[in-house]
Amino acid sequence: MALVLGGVYLAYEGFEKVYHFFLPHKHKKVKKEHAITDVILSKEEQLIAEKAKIKSAIFTDFILSVEIVIIALGTVIGKPILFQVLVVSIIAVIATVGVYGMVALIVRMDDFGLKLVLLNDNKKSMSHIIGNLLINTLPWVIKSLSVVGTIALLLVAGGIFSHNIEFFHHILENIPSTIKDLIIGLMVGLVAFLVVTLFKRIFKLLKKNDKI
């Protein structure tokens, strides 16, 4: 049950990213002296928004890590308890060091590039060229990771439903499993997104009526 619930959350997160990619939030605008200007967030508001994004990312990574551990545990059910502990522990360490370690290195890529640039003033030097390359490449790497991460969320969620729910296991049997898992992840994510959106609107209406 916990595995399926986690899969629903991953599917929701994946679909939400796809939804906002095609239908991004419209920037709020205000009229002042017959001119329309973009609302500029204060440093405090930017910090709050950044913390919210980080919190959401950490929670998503936590759910994904739990799903990986549960799946790993499911493959060794029936084995001696010591064997189960060793397998799950090894997978947890690999997932933590491998995935999060790689992300940490990517995030610091521009800092390392800046240090290379500052090694000398010669713009034609190898350190200067590599440093600028790392700095200029980082935004593209981040965008690529966002796309890959979204696809991974949907694939993991789709795989969970496909292997643990009989109904999903038998649909779309004639197409490759990867595409099948992606479609199932999108389907479940769509339903979860609609339900969450509906509850948010109901909550806003109730909150608005309380203020009246």
Is residue 160 classed as helix, strand or coil in its secondary structure?
helix
The secondary structure of the chain in percent helix, strand, coil, rounded to multiples of 5, reads 80, 5, 15
pLDDT at 191: 94
pLDDT at 198: 93
Distances (CA, A) of 148 to 35, 36, 79, 83: 40, 37, 34, 33
pLDDT at 35: 41
Mean pLDDT for each consecutive 10-residue tract of the chain (212 residues)?
Answer: 79 88 62 45 67 64 68 72 83 73 74 85 84 85 79 84 82 85 92 92 82 63
**Helices (DSSP H) in 95-176: which residue ranges?**
101-107, 109-117, 126-164, 166-169
CA torsion, points 53, 54, 60, 66, in degrees to nearest 10?
-170
Chain-centre distance of CA 62, in angstroms?
11
pLDDT at 34: 42
pLDDT at 193: 94
Q: Per-residue b/e over 173-190, b at no fewer than 16 CB within 10 Å? A: eeeeeeebbbbbbbbbbe
pLDDT at 74: 65
pLDDT at 102: 72
